[in-house]
C-alpha cells in the first residue's frame, strides 16, 4: 500500500509505467490431465481448473460446508427430487483471444454445463478426451431426470430419486459452470476442443496460458462477481520433483509448494523464510489389483499381496512416520469408518503359500505401475513401488516397475491397463460415497471409470447404492460399514496409508490454507511484501 | 449679380473643385490605404505561414521532450496568420481578392487542423514510445531480479547437494555393510548345514564383527535399527548351535528389510540429486535465456527506437514481428514463472504499443505528406494574395496621383478664369464709387452718390454713404446746439456756486459779527454801568461836598470807588478794544484777503478768540499747539476761514448734543512747509461718507441748517488759494483729524504794503 502511495506521489512519469504485478507462483506437483474440471478426476487437474471456475454451490475452503455461489439460493422439494436454483445476477465470464462475452451468466450456461456431461447428443459431449468420468462415476446420468430453465435466472433440476449427496456433488469440481455463449462461438468456429483446452469460466482468475510440464498461468479477473483478487498473476509452476520444488521455494521462485518430501519437514520448519502446513488428509493411498482380469481376478492372489506388503516399512521409509497404516478404503476421519475391521497380517510365508495355492507355484511376472509425482496420499510413488516390489519379490511375484506421465497415468489406470497400480484418493466432498462408490462401485468399474481395480461386485455395489439413496445417516453408516467388510473380504486393493498432507509456503504468503479435501485454493491469497531477492 | 454671389462663385468653384478632389482623394486614399494595409497584411501572412511551416518541420524533427515549444510556436504563428487573414477579409477590394482570402483561410484552417491532428497523434506516439522504454526497462529489471534469485538459489542448491552427497555416502556405507552382514549370515547358514559344527564359534564372531561394522555405519541417526541389530546380534552370540539357525534367519530377514529400505532410499536420493542437478543446469540455462530475451528485447528496442526516430514504419513493422517472436520465446522458455508473465506482458505491451505507434507513424507520415501538399497550396495562395494586394495598392497609388494632378489643374484653371471675371465686375464699380465718395467728402452737399441705383453691394454701399452723409450733417448741428446749452448751464452753475460760497462766507462773517457783538456787549455794558455808578458816586460826592457833609472817610471811600471804577472801565473797555481789534483783523482778512506775513501763534490765538462766542455755546475746549515766532506768508483770511470752518464743523458735527469735546489745533514747522492739524475726539465720520465730505452740498445735518458747503470751501481754499493739500483721517468713535500741508511762503511773495495795510 505504501508502495502504491509513493508511486502515486511520484506523479505522471511513473503513471504510465507498468506496475510490478503481484505474482504468486505455486510449485505444483504435475501437469493436469486437462484444464476443464468437467473432464478430470485427479486433484492436480481439479486444482488447475479451480481458479477459473465457479459452481452453483461451493464448499467453504477447508470444510465440506456448502454455501451459495453462482446460485444465490435454492429450494429442495419435500421428497428431495426437485431442486430449484435461483441464479446470481451480474456474473461476468472471462474473455480470451477469440471470445468476448456479450452477456452475463444465466440459466443457459447452467444447462450447457450440465447437459454437456449428461446428454450424449450434446454437441460438446463427444469432444475428444471428454469422458466425464466423475459425472458418470457418481451416477449422475441416471440420477438426473430433467434439467429445466424456468427463466433466465432460475433452473430446476429433477432427480429420478432422492440423493443425499446431490448438492455436494454440484459443489464438486466437475460441476463447474461454463459459458454457453463461448460454446456457440467455438461451434461456429469449428474448434470445439478449445472449450476444454482454453476454458472460459466466471472464476477469480482467467487463463493466460498453459505449457505442459512447465506452467499454467492465470491472471486475476477484474470483473469477478466476488471482487478482484489481491494478486495479479497466479502461476502453477509444474515441478514434479519435491526436492526441486523445495529448492525453488527456498530461492523464492515459488511461493507455495505442493507436498514437500516428508524427509524435508525439519529443513522447512527450520527455515525462517518458510512455513510448513500440515493436516491429516481425507485420503487413502492404495495398491489396486486389477480384479477384472488374470492374474489378480483370483481373490487368493489378492489376499497374498495384502499379506506380503510391509506397510510399516512404507510409513517409516516414505511417509517418515507422518502417515498411518490403512486397512479400510476410507480415511479414519470420515464418518462410517469401520474400526472393527481387522487387517491382513504381514506374513510373507503365508503369502507365498497363497500364491502357490492360487496356481502360481513358481510365482508370476507382472507390472507394477506407480505415479511419477508426489501425491498427498503418497509422497514418493516410485519408492513405495520399489518397496512393494521388494516385498512382492519375496513371495514370488516379480513385478516390473512401470510409470508414465502423470496426465496419462490416470487414463491408463482408468482404462484398466495395469495389473497392479499404486494410486490414491483424496475425498472431495466429505461423503463416504465419494470413496466407496466412486472408487469401488460398479459404475466406476467401466473402462475410464475411477474404479481402477475394475472390481465390480454386485453385492457390494448394492450396498453403496442403497446408502446413496437414503439420507438417513445411521442407515447409511451401517451400509457403509458393511461395505467395508465386503471390501476387506474381497480385497481389490491393498490399502497402504492415510497420510498427513504437507504444504509449504513462503512466509509472505497470506491466506493460504491447507485443505483436507486436497483443494489448493488461491482465492483470497495475498503476498504481504515483495519477494525477497 | 451680387458681389457676395460672385465671390462665392469665385471662392466656391475652387473650393468645390478642391472639395471634390479632396473627397475623391479621400475615398481613393482610403482605398489605397486599404490596398496598402492589405498588401502589408498579405506579406505578413505569407511570412507567418512560411515560419509556421518551418516550425512544423522543427516540431516533426524535435526530440519528444522538446516538441511542446515548437507546437506552441506553430499555434502562435498559425493563429496570427488566421487573425491577419480575418483582418484581410474586409480589406479585400475585389472579388478575386475576397475569393483568394477565403480560399487561403480554408487551406490554413485545414493545415492547422491537420497539424492539430498530427500533434495529437505525435503526443500519443511519444507517450507510447516512452512507455515502450519503460517496459523494456522493466524487462531488464525482471531479468536482473531473476539472475539475483538464481544466484542465491545456486548457492542453496550447492549446500543441499553437499548434504545429499553426504547422506548418499552414509547410505552406501550402510548398504555395503548390510550386504557384508548378509553374506556373513549366508556363510553361517552354509556352515550350519555342514555336519561338523566346528566353525560355529568362528561364524558367530564374524557375524558380530559384521553387525558391529553395520551398527557403526548406521550410527546415531538410526538408533532404532541399531538397537534391533544389537539385540539380534546378542541373541545370535548367546544362541547355542541349535538355535543359531533361527536367529540367523531372523537376522537375515531384518537385514533384507533394512536393505530394502536403504537401497530404495539410496535410489530416491540419487534421483533427487540428479533432479536437483538437472534443475540447476536448467535453471541456469533458463536464466541465460531470460537474459537473452531481455538483451534481445533491449536491442530490438534500440533498433525500433532508431526506426521510429526516422519514422520508418516498415522497419518498425519488422521489429514488431520480431517482438511477437520474442514474446513467444519468452512464453515458451521455462523462464522463472515469477517473472514470466511480467516479461511476456512487458514484451506484449511493448509490441502492442509499437503496433499502435507504427499506425501512428504511418498516420504521421501520411499527415506530413498531406500537410506538405496543403502547405504548398497554402504558400502559393499566400504568395498570390500578396501579389494581388501589392499590385492593387500600386495601381491605386498611381491612379490617385493622376486624379489629383488632373483635378487640381482643371480646378486651378477654371477657378482663375472665374476669379478674373468676378474681380473685374467688382473693381470697376468700386472705383467709380470711390471717386463719388471722394467728391462727396470734399463737398457733402455736392449731391448724392450716383451709384445708389445699383442693385448690388456697391449700390447698398452708395445708398449707405448717402444716408451717412445726411445723418452726419444733422448730428453735427444737434451737437453744436447741445454744446452751447451745456456751456450756458455750466456758467450758471459756476455762478451759483460762487454765489453760494460768497453767501456762505458772508453768513460765517455774519455769525462772526453777531458773536463779536455779543462779546463786546458785555465789557461795554460793564463799562457803561461802571460809568453810571461813577456818575452816581460823583453826584453823591458832590451833594456831600455841597452839603458839606463831606467827611474825610467819605472822600476816601469816593476815591476808592473812583479808582475801582476807573480800573473796571479800563479793563472792560480794553477788553472790548481787543475784541474789536481781533474781529477787525479777522473780518478784514476775510473780506479783503491779501497775502501777508504774520506771526502764526498770535494770529492763531486771535482766530480762536474770535471763535469764542461761537464756541462758548458749546462746552468744547479748543487748545492750540503752535511754535512761537513762526512766520508765515500766506492768505490769512483764507486760512482763518479754513480753520474756522474746520473748528465749527468739528464743534457742530463731531459731538452729540450737550457733549463736551476737545479740539486740538496743532501747527508744525517744517522747512518750507507748514503742517496744520485740526483734531477732535468726537464720533468720527462714517467710512461711507469719508470720500464725499469735500463734495459741495454734502451734509449729514441739512435738517440743522447745514449747507454742505463748509468743507468744500475748505478744500477749495486749501488747494487753490493756499496752494496746499488737505486730507482727512477718521475712524468712527475715534475722532477725526484734518491735516493740511501748505507752503510757509506762497509762491507769489506778499507785498509789504499789504502788511502795512493791516
- Give the model confidence (pLDDT) of B672-722 as tens digits: 888 999 999 888 888 888 888 888 777 777 677 676 777 888 888 888 888
Least confident of A102-116, A221-235, B225-239, B447-461: B447-461
User: Which residues of chain B lie closer than 8 angstroms to A387, CB-CB?
Assistant: 260-261, 264
A44 to chain B, closest Cα gap in Å: 18
Q: Where in chain B is the domain with CATH 3.30.565.10?
A: 593-758
The residue of A7, A12, A17, A18 whose CB has the most chain B CBs within 10 angstroms, and thus the best one to mutate to test that interface, is: A18
Residue B698 DSSP class? -
| Bond into A295 cis (ω within 30) | yes
Residues of chain A that touch chain B, judged by Cβ-Cβ distance less than 8 Å: 16-18, 20-21, 23, 25, 208-209, 211, 214-215, 217, 219, 233, 235, 237, 241, 243-244, 247-248, 250-254, 310, 313, 316-317, 380, 382-383, 386-387, 390-391, 394, 531, 533
Where in the sequence of chain B do the CATH 1.20.120 domains occur? 3-141+364-410
Report the SS3 class of residue A49.
helix
Q: What is the DSSP letter of A55?
A: B
Which CATH code of 3.40.50, 1.20.950, 1.10.1740, 1.20.1330 fits the domain covering B145-313?
A: 1.20.1330
List pLDDT tens digits, range A165-214. Answer: 888 889 988 999 999 999 999 999 999 999 999 999 999 999 988 988 88
Which residues on B lie below 8 Å from A383 (Cβ)? 264-265, 267-268
How far is Cα B268 from Cα B417, in angstroms, rounded to an integer?
A: 141
A215 contacts in chain B (CB < 8 Å) = 334, 337, 340
* Cβ within 8 Å, pair A253-B336: yes
Q: Which residues of A touch B136 (CB under 8 A)?
A: none
**Mean pLDDT computed over A354-383:** 91
3-class secondary structure, A456: coil
Q: What is the mean pLDDT of residues B509-525?
A: 71
Q: Which residues of B412-451 are buried (b: 16+ CB within 10 A; e: fewer)?
A: eeebeebbeebeeebeebeebbeebbeebeeeeeeebbeb
Residue ranges matching CATH 3.90.76.10 in chain A: 31-200
Q: Which of A19, A206, A251, A370 to mutate to test the interface with B (most CBs of B within 10 A)?
A: A251
Q: Enter the ipTM.
A: 0.81
Fold of A283-500: Dipeptide-binding Protein; domain 3 (3.10.105)
Please name the residues between 456 and 485 in chain B that touch chain A, using a CB distance below 8 Å: none
CB B87 within 8 A of CB B41: yes
Cβ within 8 Å, pair A241-B131: no
CB contacts of B263 in chain A (<8 Å) are 386
User: Taking the domain B3-141+364-410, which CATH number applies?
Assistant: 1.20.120
B584: three-class secondary structure by DSSP:
helix
Q: Cβ contact (<8 Å) for A317 and B345?
A: no
CATH of A31-200, one of 1.10.3470.10, 1.10.8.100, 3.30.470.20, 3.90.76.10: 3.90.76.10
Q: Confirm if B97 and B85 have CB atoms less than 8 A apart.
A: no
Per-residue pLDDT for A135 more than 50? yes
| Per-residue buried b or exposed e for B199-232, using 16+ beta carbons within 10 Å of the residue's own CB | bbeebbebbeebbebbbebbeeebeebbebbeeb
B291 at interface of A, judged by CB pairs closer than 8 A: no
Q: Encode burial over A485-500: b for 16+ CB neighbours within 10 A, e otherwise.
A: ebbbebbbbbbbbbbb
Q: Per-residue pLDDT for B515 more than 70?
A: no
Q: Tell me which of B657 and A436 has the higher pLDDT.
A: A436
pLDDT at A109 over 90: yes
Helix (H) or strand (E) holding A399: strand A397-402
Supply the DSSP string of A173-229, one letter for each residue.
Answer: GGGBPPPHHHHHHHHHHT-TTHHHHS---SSSEEEEEEETTTEEEEEE-TT-TT---
Q: Over range B363-378, report the average pLDDT.
A: 84
Nearest-angstrom CA–CA distance, B96 and B102: 10
d(CA B223, CA A49): 46
CA distance B389 to chain A (A): 50
Contacts of residue A10, Cβ cutoff 8 Å, sequence gap at least 6: none
Band of residue B586 on the pLDDT scale cut at 50, 70, 90: low
Residue A158 has pLDDT above 70, yes or no: yes
Residue B246 has a pLDDT of 81
Q: Helix (H) and strand (E) counts for chain B? A: 15, 7
> Which part of chain A has CATH 3.10.105.10?
283-500
Residue B458: per-residue pLDDT = 74
What average pLDDT does chain A have? 88
Closest C-alpha among A511, A8, A494, A27 to residue A247: A27
All residues of chain A having their beta carbon less than 8 Å from the beta carbon of residue B268 are: 380, 382-383
pLDDT band at B420 (very low <50, low <70, confident <90, very high): confident
Task: Test B337 with A254 for CB contact under 8 angstroms.
Answer: yes
C-alpha cell at A279: 493436516
Chain-centroid distance, C-alpha A455: 21
Residues A474-517: tens digit of each pLDDT: 999 999 999 999 999 999 999 999 988 889 999 999 999 888 77
- Do residues B664 and B528 lie in contact, with contact meaning Cβ atoms separated by under 8 Å? no
| B-chain residues near A380 (CB < 8 A) | 268
Average pLDDT, chain B: 81
Q: Of A16, A25, A241, which has the smallest distance from its Cβ to B127's Cβ?
A: A16
Q: Residues B112-161: pLDDT tens digits?
A: 888 888 888 888 888 888 888 888 888 888 888 888 888 888 888 888 88
Read off the pLDDT of residues B636-664 as tens digits, 9 standing for 90 and up. Answer: 888 888 888 888 888 888 888 778 888 99
By Cβ distance, the residue of A21, A248, A533 closest to B342 is A21
Q: What is the pLDDT of residues A302-348, one digit of tens each?
A: 999 999 999 999 998 888 888 899 999 999 988 899 999 999 999 99
Cβ-Cβ contacts under 8 Å, B335 against chain A = none
Find the helix or strand (DSSP H, E) in which B673 lies: strand B673-680
Q: Which residues contact B531 (CB under 8 A, 6 or more apart)?
A: B565, B569
- Residue A390 to residue B332, Cβ atoms within 8 A: no
Residues of B in contact with A382 (CB under 8 A): 268, 271
Are A310 and B257 an interchain contact pair (Cβ–Cβ within 8 Å)?
yes
Burial of B269 per CB tally in 10 Å (0-12, 13-18, 19+): buried
Return the CATH number of the domain spanning residue range B593-758.
3.30.565.10
Alpha-carbon distance of A496 to A507, in angstroms, equals 33
CA dist A298 and A355 (Å) reads 10
Whether A387 and B260 lie within 8 Å, measured CB to CB: yes
Measured CA distances, B616 to A189, B613, B737 (Å): 162, 5, 22
Interface test with A, best of B170, B267, B341 (most A CBs within 10 A): B341
Q: Are A9 and A418 in contact (CB under 8 A)?
A: no
Chain B closest CA to A260's CA: distance in Å?
Answer: 13
Each residue of B399-418: pLDDT tens digit?
888 878 888 888 788 878 87
Closest CA to B229 of B198, B262, B201: B262
| Alpha carbon of B337: minimum distance to chain A alpha carbons (Å) | 6
Amino acid at each position: 500500500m505504501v508502495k502504491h502511495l509513493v508511486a502515486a506521489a511520484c506523479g505522471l512519469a511513473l503513471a504510465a509505467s507498468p506496475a510490478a504485478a503481484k505474482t504468486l507462483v505455486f510449485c505444483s506437483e504435475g501437469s493436469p490431465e486437462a484444464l476443464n474440471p468437467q473432464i478430470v478426476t485427479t486433484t492436480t487437474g481439479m486444482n488447475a481448473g479451480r481458479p477459473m471456475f465457479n459452481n452453483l454451490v461451493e464448499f467453504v475452503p477447508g470444510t465440506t460446508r456448502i454455501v451459495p455461489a453462482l446460485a444465490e439460493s435454492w429450494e429442495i422439494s419435500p421428497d428431495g427430487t426437485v431442486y430449484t436454483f435461483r441464479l446470481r445476477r451480474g456474473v461476468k465470464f472471462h474473455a480470451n483471444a477469440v471470445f468476448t462475452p456479450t452477456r452475463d451468466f444465466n440459466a443457459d450456461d447452467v444447462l450447457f454445463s450440465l447437459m454437456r456431461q449428461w446428454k450424449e447428443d450434446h454437441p460438446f459431449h463427444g469432444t475428444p478426451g471428454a469422458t466425464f468420468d466423475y459425472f458418470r462415476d457418481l451416477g449422475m446420468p441416471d440420477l438426473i431426470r430433467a434439467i429445466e430453465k424456468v427463466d433466465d435466472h432460475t433452473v430446476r433440476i429433477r432427480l429420478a430419486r432422492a440423493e443425499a449427496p446431490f448438492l455436494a456433488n454440484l459443489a464438486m469440481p466437475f460441476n463447474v459452470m461454463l459459458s454457453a455463449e463461448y460454446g456457440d462461438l467455438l461451434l461456429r468456429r469449428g474448434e470445439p476442443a478449445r472449450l476444454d483446452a482454453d476454458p472460459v469460466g466466471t472464476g477469480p482468475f482467467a487463463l493466460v496460458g498453459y505449457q505442459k510440464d512447465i506452467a499454467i498461468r492465470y491472471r486475476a479477473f477484474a470483473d469477478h462477481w466476488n471482487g478482484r483478487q489481491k494478486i495479479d498473476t497466479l502461476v502453477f509452476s509444474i515441478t514434479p520433483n519435491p526436492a526441486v520444488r523445495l529448492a525453488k521455494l527456498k530461492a523464492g521462485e515459488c511461493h507455495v509448494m505442493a507436498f514437500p518430501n516428508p524427509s524435508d519437514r525439519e529443513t522447512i520448519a527450520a527455515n525462517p523464510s518458510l512455513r510448513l502446513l500440515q493436516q491429516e488428509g481425507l485420503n487413502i493411498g492404495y495398491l489396486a489389483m486389477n480384479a477384472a482380469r488374470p492374474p489378480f481376478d483370483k481373490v487368493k492372489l489378492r489376499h497374498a499381496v495384502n499379506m506380503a506388503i510391509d506397510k510399516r516399512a512404507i510409513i517409516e521409509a516414505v511417509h517418515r512416520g507422518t502417515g498411518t497404516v490403512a486397512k479400510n478404503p476410507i480415511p479414519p476421519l470420515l464418518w462410517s469408518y469401520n474400526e472393527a475391521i481387522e487387517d491382513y497380517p504381514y506374513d510373507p510365508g503365508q503369502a507365498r503359500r497363497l500364491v502357490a495355492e492360487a496356481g502360481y507355484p513358481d510365482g508370476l511376472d507382472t507390472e507394477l505401475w506407480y505415479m511419477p509425482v508426489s501425491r498427498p496420499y503418497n509422497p514418493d510413488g516410485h519408492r513405495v513401488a520399489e518397496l512393494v516390489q521388494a516385498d512382492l519379490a519375496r513371495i514370488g511375484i516379480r513385478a516390473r516397475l512401470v510409470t508414465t506421465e502423470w496426465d496419462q497415468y490416470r487414463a491408463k489406470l482408468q482404462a484398466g491397463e495395469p495389473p497392479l497400480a499404486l494410486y490414491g484418493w483424496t475425498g472431495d466432498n466429505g461423503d463416504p460415497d465419494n470413496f466407496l462408490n466412486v472408487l469401488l462401485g460398479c459404475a466406476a468399474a467401466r473402462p475410464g471409470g475411477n474404479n481402477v481395480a475394475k472390481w465390480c461386485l454386485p453385492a457390494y455395489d448394492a450396498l453403496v447404492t442403497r446408502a446413496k439413496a437414503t439420507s438417513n445417516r445411521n442407515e447409511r453408516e451401517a451400509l457403509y460399514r458393511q461395505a467395508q467388510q465386503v471390501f476387506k473380504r474381497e480385497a481389490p486393493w491393498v490399502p497402504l496409508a492415510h497420510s498427513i498432507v504437507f504444504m509449504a509456503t513462503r512466509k509472505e504468503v497470506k491466506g493460504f490454507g491447507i485443505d483436507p479435501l486436497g483443494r489448493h485454493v488461491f482465492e483470497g491469497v495475498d503476498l504481504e511484501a515483495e519477494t525477497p531477492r | 449679380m451680387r458681389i457676395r454671389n460672385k465671390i462665392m462663385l469665385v471662392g466656391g468653384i475652387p473650393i468645390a473643385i478642391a472639395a471634390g478632389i479632396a473627397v475623391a482623394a479621400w475615398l481613393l486614399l482610403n482605398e489605397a490605404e486599404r490596398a496598402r494595409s492589405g498588401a502589408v497584411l498579405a506579406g505578413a501572412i505569407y511570412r507567418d505561414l512560411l515560419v509556421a511551416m518551418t516550425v512544423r518541420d522543427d516540431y516533426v524533427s524535435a526530440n519528444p521532450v522538446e516538441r511542446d515549444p515548437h507546437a506552441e510556436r506553430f499555434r502562435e504563428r498559425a493563429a496570427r496568420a488566421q487573425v491577419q487573414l480575418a483582418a484581410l477579409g474586409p480589406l479585400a477590394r475585389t472579388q478575386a481578392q475576397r475569393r483568394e482570402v477565403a480560399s487561403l483561410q480554408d487551406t490554413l484552417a485545414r493545415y492547422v487542423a491537420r497539424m492539430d491532428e498530427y500533434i495529437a497523434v505525435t503526443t500519443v506516439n511519444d507517450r507510447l514510445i516512452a512507455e515502450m522504454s519503460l517496459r523494456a526497462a522493466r524487462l531488464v529489471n525482471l531479468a536482473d531480479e531473476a539472475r539475483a534469485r538464481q544466484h542465491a538459489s545456486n548457492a542453496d542448491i550447492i549446500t543441499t547437494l553437499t548434504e545429499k552427497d553426504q547422506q548418499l555416502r552414509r547410505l552406501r556405507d550402510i548398504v555395503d555393510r548390510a550386504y557384508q552382514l548378509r553374506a556373513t549370515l549366508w556363510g553361517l547358514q552354509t556352515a550350519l548345514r555342514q555336519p561338523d559344527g566346528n566353525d560355529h564359534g568362528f561364524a558367530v564372531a564374524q557375524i558380530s564383527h559384521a553387525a558391529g561394522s553395520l551398527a557403526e555405519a548406521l550410527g546415531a541417526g538410526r538408533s532404532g535399527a541399531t538397537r534391533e541389530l544389537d539385540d539380534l546380534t546378542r541373541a545370535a552370540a548367546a544362541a547355542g548351535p541349535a538355535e543359531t539357525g533361527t536367529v540367523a534367519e531372523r537376522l537375515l530377514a531384518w537385514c533384507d528389510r533394512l536393505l530394502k529400505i536403504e537401497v530404495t532410499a539410496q535410489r530416491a536420493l540419487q534421483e533427487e540429486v540428479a533432479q536437483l542437478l538437472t534443475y540447476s543446469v536448467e535453471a541456469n540455462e533458463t536464466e541465460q535465456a531470460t537474459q537473452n530475451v531481455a538483451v534481445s528485447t533491449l536491442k530490438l528496442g534500440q533498433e525500433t527506437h532508431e526506426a521510429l526516430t526516422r519514422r520508418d514504419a516498415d522497419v518498425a513493422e519488422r521489429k514488431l514481428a520480431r517482438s511477437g517472436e520474442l514474446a513467444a520465446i519468452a512464453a515458451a522458455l521455462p523462464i522463472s514463472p515469477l517473472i514470466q508473465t511480467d516479461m511476456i506482458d512487458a514484451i506484449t505491451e511493448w509490441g502492442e504499443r509499437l503496433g499502435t505507434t507504427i499506425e501512428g507513424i504511418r498516420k504521421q507520415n501520411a499527415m506530413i505528406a498531406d500537410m506538405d501538399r496543403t502547405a504548398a497550396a497554402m504558400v502559393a495562395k499566400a504568395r498570390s494574395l500578396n501579389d494581388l494586394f501589392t499590385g492593387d495598392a500600386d495601381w491605386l497609388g498611381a491612379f490617385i496621383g493622376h486624379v489629383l494632378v488632373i483635378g487640381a489643374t482643371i480646378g486651378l484653371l477654371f477657378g482663375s478664369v472665374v476669379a478674373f471675371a468676378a474681380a473685374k465686375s467688382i473693381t470697376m464699380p468700386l472705383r467709380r464709387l470711390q471717386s463719388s465718395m471722394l467728391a462727396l467728402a470734399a463737398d457733402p452737399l455736392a449731391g448724392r452718390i450716383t451709384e445708389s441705383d445699383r442693385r448690388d453691394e456697391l449700390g447698398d454701399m452708395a445708398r449707405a454713404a448717402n444716408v451717412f452723409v445726411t445723418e452726419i450733417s444733422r448730428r453735427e448741428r444737434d451737437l453744436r446746439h447741445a454744446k452751447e446749452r451745456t456751456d450756458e448751464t455750466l456758467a450758471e452753475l459756476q455762478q451759483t456756486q460762487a454765489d453760494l460760497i460768497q453767501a456762505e462766507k458772508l453768513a460765517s462773517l455774519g455769525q462772526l459779527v453777531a458773536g463779536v457783538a455779543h462779546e463786546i456787549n458785555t465789557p461795554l455794558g460793564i463799562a457803561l454801568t461802571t460809568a453810571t455808578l461813577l456818575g452816581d458816586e460823583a453826584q453823591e460826592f458832590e451833594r456831600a461836598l455841597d452839603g458839606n457833609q463831606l467827611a474825610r472817610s467819605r472822600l476816601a471811600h469816593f476815591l476808592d470807588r473812583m479808582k475801582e471804577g476807573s480800573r473796571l472801565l479800563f479793563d472792560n473797555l480794553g477788553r472790548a478794544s481787543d475784541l474789536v481789534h481781533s474781529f477787525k483783523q479777522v473780518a478784514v482778512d476775510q473780506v479783503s484777503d491779501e497775502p501777508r506775513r504774520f506771526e502764526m501763534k498770535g494770529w492763531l490765538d486771535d482766530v480762536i478768540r474770535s471763535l469764542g462766542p461761537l464756541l462758548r455755546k458749546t462746552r468744547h475746549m479748543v487748545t492750540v499747539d503752535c511754535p512761537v515766532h513762526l512766520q508765515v506768508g500766506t492768505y490769512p483770511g483764507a486760512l482763518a476761514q479754513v480753520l474756522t470752518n474746520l473748528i465749527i464743523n468739528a464743534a457742530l458735527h463731531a459731538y452729540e448734543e450737550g457733549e463736551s469735546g476737545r479740539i486740538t489745533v496743532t501747527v508744525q514747522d517744517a522747512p518750507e512747509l507748514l503742517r496744520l492739524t485740526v483734531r477732535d475726539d468726537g464720533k468720527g465720520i462714517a467710512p461711507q461718507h469719508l470720500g464725499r465730505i469735500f463734495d459741495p452740498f454734502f451734509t449729514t445735518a441739512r435738517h440743522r441748517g447745514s449747507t454742505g458747503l463748509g468743507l468744500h470751501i475748505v478744500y477749495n481754499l486749501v488747494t487753490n488759494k493756499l496752494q496746499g493739500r488737505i486730507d482727512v483721517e477718521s475712524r468712527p468713535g475715534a475722532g477725526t483729524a484734518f491735516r493740511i500741508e501748505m507752503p510757509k511762503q506762497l509762491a507769489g511773495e506778499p507785498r509789504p504794503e499789504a502788511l502795512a495795510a493791516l
